[in-house]
Structure 1
Amino acid sequence: MEMEGLTSIYTNVYTKSALLSGEDFTNMHGNTKAALDYHVSINSDSYIATYFGNIDKMVAAMRAFRGLFKTLFLNRRAFEQFTSQGLKGEELVEALWNAHRDEFVLGRGSALPECFCEFKL
């Protein structure tokens, strides 16, 4: 349900398993998959951090350093709640925008310049 909600907003989403053939993907292990994640993440038009751990912090920093500011630190709890309620498309966009804006105002959220909140999808 969460991937359906995400792809109802962002239609050009790729996962590492979609970039490789099934055999190539299954032959990759730990660090190789992490390297692929990192390479794709720092070179993408936009990036959504799904877990704000060390790799997401490093990717966000590298993207900012390279001037790629379309980076979103998604409120995973809100995203899960909204998608489990069946929200998709514009409804999901508005709900996420409100959750993201409220967290930013309260000082809990992170937003870099050109955050998705400033754009019409």
Structure 2
Amino acid sequence: MICHFDHIVLTVADIEKAVSFYETVLKMEAITFGDGRRAVKFGNQKINFQLLGDELRNHALEGSGDLCLISKWAIEDVIAHFKEQDIRILEGPVEKMGAQGPMQSVYFNDLDNNLVEVGVYQELPINY
């Protein structure tokens, strides 16, 4: 029935700061859609940003997000890039079991304290 994620939404304190952070630190593409909403895009997915109270159906607070992103970079290159960007790694590299097998991961918080995991599969899954 379900084949993939289309997008997620993160509640943030400042949308433009969040867009800039994800664009700079995670090399995502900043986009504008709909009636001026902001997001970042990577591959066929995107992360939409909202301010607290923007979406009455969503009761998420700032910093309540917890997401895992997959990189094609070597884990050493991911760590070196984060150090260049002054990102404090909370944990890692550690071995985790992803949706498609074993991977090495590092964890950090974004500007709004959402937990972000960046994982690198040890062997690229067939449908990567």
TM over 0.5: same fold?
no
Place the TM-score, normalised by the shorter chain, in its bin: under 0.3
Which is richer in helix? 1
State the TM-score, normalized to the length of structure 2. 0.26
Higher RCO (C-alpha under 8 Å, 6+ residues apart): 1
Larger strand fraction of residues: 2
Give the TM-score of the pair, scaled to structure 1. 0.27
